[in-house]
Structure 1
Amino acid sequence: MARHDHHQHGGADLKAAARDRLTTRGEQWTGMREAVFDALAGFDRPASAYDIAEAVSKSQGRRVAANSVYRILDLFVGSNLARRVESANAYVANNHPACLHDCIFLICDHCGQAKHIDNDSIANEVREAAAKSGFAPTRPVIEVRGTCEDCR
C-alpha cells in the first residue's frame, strides 16, 4: 500500500491545526466556525449538517440553522479541515489538515463508522484512468461499503 507520512492530530492539537490551516489560507477562525469544528470533531462517525447544527445549538443554547452549518462545512472541505462522505451526505473532521491527498473511506453498513485510509497508488490510478478517458478529475471519491471489524 503506497502511503505518505503525516502527523495525526487529536483533541486540542487537532483544533489548533485546523485553525492554523484556515488562517494560513486567509480565512478567519470565528466563534461559530470553532463551534462547528468542535461539534464535528466530537462525533465518532460521519455527521450530517443537521447533526452538527443540533450539537452546536445545544452547546450555545440557541438555535443554529443547518444552512449556516452547510456553508461552514463547505469552507472546511475546501480548506481540507473536513472530508465529505458522499454516500452518507455526512462529514468527518480531517485529522491531518495540512496534508493534501485523496481519501478512501471504508464505511460500515451496520454501525455507520467510516474509517479513512490513504493509498496514493489507488487514487493515482483512478486519476490516470479518468485522464486516459479524456476526463480531467478534480477530486476522486473512493468509498467502500461493507462490514467493519467490530460488526463482523
Structure 2
Amino acid sequence: MAKHDHHVHGSPDLKEAARDRLTGRGEQWTGMREAVFDALAGFDRPASAYDIAEAVSNAQGRRVAANSVYRILDLFVGTNLAMRVESANAYVANAHPGCLHDCIFLICDHCGQAKHLDDDSIADNVRKVAEKSGFAPSRPVIEVRGTCEDCN
C-alpha cells in the first residue's frame, strides 16, 4: 500500500463518512447502527460490546443486548468503520473509514488508551516474513503494549 494522507474526520463528519462507506457497500444505515456507531465514536478508549450496549441502552432508555451490538460491530469491522483491538476484545471507531490499512495499535497498560497507526511498511514486512515461512497472511494486526506519552 502506498503512503498517502488521510482526512481524519471529526464527530459529525465521521458519522457522515461512516454512513457513506456503509451504504456504499450496499448496507443500510439503520437507527440501531447509527446508535451503535455514535456510542462507539463517543468513547475515548477501546470499548467492548457490553460498554457500547450499555451506552446505547442509556441513550435510548431501553435495554439493548450485547449480541445485537456484536453483530453490528462485526459489520463495522468488515466495512472498515471500526477496528478491533484483539488483546482487549474491544473496538475503536476508524477515523478514516475510506482508507484500508493493516492495524497497528499502541495500547497503554495504565490508562487503556489505544492509538492507531498507519505504517504500511511495518505490516508489509510482517506479511513478507509470514509468506517466507509458507503462511498466507490475510489480516496482520500488530499490538504494542506499554505506556503512553500522557502516563509516562
What letter corresponds to residue 8 of structure 1 in structure 2?
Answer: V
Amino acid aligned to 2:108: C
Q: Secondary structure of the equivalent of 1:91? A: strand
Q: Give the whole-Å Cα distance in 1 for the aligned partners of 2:86 and 2:4.
A: 24
Task: Quote the residue 2:40 is aligned against.
Answer: 40
- Give a deviation string over 1:32-51, Cα, whole Å, max 9, x none: 00000000000000000000
What is aligned with 1:104?
104
The range that moved more, 86-95 or 131-140, is 131-140
Residues of 1 paired with 2:6 and 2:102: CA distance? 14
* Corresponding residue of 1:130: 130
Shift of 1:5: 1.2
C-alpha distance after superposition, 1:127-148 (max 9, x if no partner): 1111111111110010000000
Task: After superposition, give the CA deviation of every residue in 1:13-66 in whole Å (9 maximum; x if it has no partner).
Answer: 000000000000000000000000000000000000000000000000000000
Alpha-carbon distance in 2 for matches of 1:10, 1:99: 16
The residue correspondences of 1:108-123 to structure 2 (distance < 5 A) are 108-123=108-123
* 1:68-92 deviation digits (Å, cap 9, x = unpaired): 0000000000000000000000000
Write out aligned runs for 1:52-131 (5 A): 52-131=52-131
One-letter identity of the residue aligned with 2:11: G
Normalising to structure 1: TM-score of the pair? 0.97
TM-score (norm 2): 0.97
Gap regions ≥5 residues in structure 1: none
Give distance in 2, aligned partners of 1:7 and 1:129. Answer: 31
The Cα of 1:4 is off from its aligned counterpart by 2.5
Match of 2:141 in 1: 141
* AA in 1 matched with 2:150: D
Q: Secondary structure at the match of 2:91?
A: strand
Aligned-pair identity (%): 86
Q: Hey, what's the Cα distance between the residues in 2 that align with 1:137 and 1:143? A: 16
Task: Report what 2:6 is aligned to.
Answer: 6
Cα separation, 1, equivalents of 2:103 and 2:67: 26
Shift of 1:10: 1.3
Q: Amino acid of the residue matched to residue 46 of structure 2?
A: P
After TM superposition, the runs of 4+ consecutive aligned structure 1 residues lying more than 3 A away are none
Aligned residues: 151
Deviations 1:105-136 (A, max 9, x none): 00000000000111110000001111111111
State the Cα distance separating 1:3 from its structure 2 match.
4.0
